[in-house]
Amino acid sequence: MATCNDKILVYGFLAVLLISGCKPKGTATPPVIPPQNFMISNWSVDAVSGVNDYKGVPVTPQIRLQFPVAIDRNSVTAGITFNNGNYTASYLNGDSVVIIQPAAPLNYLTKYTLQAGNTLKSKQGGILFSPAQFTLLTKMDSTNKFPLITDNELLTKVQQQTFTYFRDFAHPISGMARERNSSGETVTTGGTGFGVMAIITGVSRGFITRAEGRDQVLKITNFLLSKCTRYHGAFAHWINGSTGVTIPFSANDNGGDLVETSLLLQGLIAAREYFNGTDAAEISLRTNINTIWDGVEWNWYRQNNQNVLYWHWSTDKGWIMNLPIRGWNEALIVYVLAASSRTDAIPKIVYDNGWAGNGAMRNNNSYYGYRLPLGPANGGPLFFEHYSFLGINPNGLSDAYADYATQTLHHTKINFEYCKANPKRWYGYSDQTWGLTASDIPGGYTASEPANDVGVIAPTAALSSFPYTPVESMNALKFFYYKLGDKLWGAYGFYDAYKLHEGWFASSTLAIDQGPIIVMIENYRTGLLWNLFTGAPEIKNGMRNLGFTAPYL
């Protein structure tokens, strides 16, 4: 048994330990906790949060970055980059929210990128271990870029400016239309046909004299007859404008192109009807045109007497392309001309079996409330309703397969309604900025349509549709000219295309897109080219032989 003295000794020893601060052996030292790394919690631009690719942002946006920790202000300049560092930063919620604002208004329709990197630190020394990045496309400038003029003045201005492509930019030796504004020696057969119709319009509108227009078309026809290779009467798609030598369109497409030749002849026949004077120069022009026209061997292009026309043939590749011309697409003009030939007309069975597929080209489904008589779902690209109808008047025109006023109107309305509905949510589509057709796109070229919608609008789509949708086309024209004119309007009229979703504008102009603009606006205003082409006696006869009916036939 412990005595009182023993207990006093134990209690005294414990007291000494407590007073001296001694610890029992084997107790661990608590670890030092390192700074905690962090991620961005949320971000917003003008109260719209969590988007990686903002569109239509104001030029003075407020960008809000939220973090789970307080941010070291000294790390912000290096850790957050935006607008080349030209921004101001402010802070909220104990520095866990950083607000970024550009030091000066941003440029309109310009893409900017904000990045938060791992040099951004917290006040405790942690780093942003998951960098964040998002882009902002600023909105367009909605102010008018040019003074307001009347609608008629605007139509004339567009026609006159677009006409300069075919006058000032025509190849100096051949007079033919260059493929595009960067194509140098390459001239285009179909685009030249559009250009000839543009020249007729230019004479009629007083942009050039009758003699100037006649002489340019005469130069073109002299070149075609004296310099260019013909492939059973057809011309190549592309030609060297100085030498007349065929430029292959592709490896196997190095010969006659019946569709391009038909687009050329559409313009030349209209010119033959327009330049109807008795002077020697106009007589010579008509003689040239008839020589070209009568020289096409339409039945040769049936490839061994089949009941369909073929697109291509060349001397060394033969029929290797093997592409039958079947509807519905832009090539109705081929069959109309082939049936109208004064020297080698095709029989009606080639039209019915080949082009119409005995009715296979019918559609008759409805899209956006409009019944489409012919063609693919939603109609395809709008050039289907432009190229052949530069000369063929669809109003009152019908045959066994369609009413062509309905076809052209409803296809265009479907295209318009699709762009207005904008199912892919492209920034910039609306009832004022619409029109899908073949055009340049960022990094390439494509035939845009509802089934191939890459977000690119081509002015030629809406403007060449003036005869079908005058109200919608005028609204688009005003938008293109007044609102986008500082980026879209150039030396030869409107540039080829734009994509507001990326702030992209083409710098190109193409003959096959510029030509329909001036020609179809003229058909809307006066019907000039329709009256000339369908007024030709053999065209009337050929269309009747195919089963077409119209008041003008």
Q: Which of 74, 75, 104, 72 is closest to 88 using CA atoms? A: 104
Kindly report whether the peptide bond that precedes residue 238 is cis, defined as omega within 30 degrees of 0. Answer: no
pLDDT > 90: percent of the chain? 93
Q: What is the pTM of this model?
A: 0.92
pLDDT > 70: percent of the chain? 95
pLDDT band at 75 (very low <50, low <70, confident <90, very high): very high
On average, the pLDDT of the chain sits at 94
Q: pLDDT tens-digit profile of 214-235?
A: 999 999 999 999 999 999 999 9
Q: What is the pLDDT of residue 85?
A: 77
Q: pLDDT tens-digit profile of 495-524?
A: 999 999 999 999 999 999 999 999 999 999
List Cβ neighbours of 378 (8 Å cut-off, separation of 6 or more).
Answer: 367, 372, 414, 415, 418, 449, 450, 451
Q: pLDDT tens-digit profile of 411-443?
A: 999 999 999 999 999 999 999 999 999 999 999
Q: Delimit the domains of the chain by residue range.
A: 42-138, 151-545
The residue type of 245 is V
Distance CA 49, CA 61 (A): 13
pLDDT at 11 over 50: no
Q: What is the pLDDT of residue 34?
A: 82
Specify the 3-state DSSP secondary structure of 485.
helix
pLDDT at 454 over 90: yes
Q: pLDDT tens-digit profile of 235-289?
A: 999 999 999 999 999 999 999 999 999 999 999 999 999 999 999 999 999 999 9
pLDDT band at 17 (very low <50, low <70, confident <90, very high): very low
Q: pLDDT tens-digit profile of 126-145?
A: 999 999 999 999 999 999 99
Q: What is the pLDDT of residue 262?
A: 99
Q: pLDDT tens-digit profile of 22-58?
A: 444 555 677 767 889 999 999 999 999 989 999 999 9
Q: For residue 130, with 0-12 CB atoms within 10 Å meaning exposed, 13-18 middle and 19 or more buried, which class applies?
A: exposed
Q: What is the pLDDT of residue 33?
A: 73
CATH for the stretch 151-545: 1.50.10.140
**Is 42-138 a domain of CATH 3.90.850.10?**
no
Distance CA 62, CA 194 (A): 50
pLDDT at 19 over 50: no
pLDDT band at 83 (very low <50, low <70, confident <90, very high): confident
Distance CA 463, CA 457 (A): 12
Q: What is the pLDDT of residue 3?
A: 42
Structure tokens at 73: 């202000």
Q: What is the pLDDT of residue 348?
A: 98
Q: What is the pLDDT of residue 26?
A: 53
> What is the arithmetic mean of pLDDT over 184-190?
97
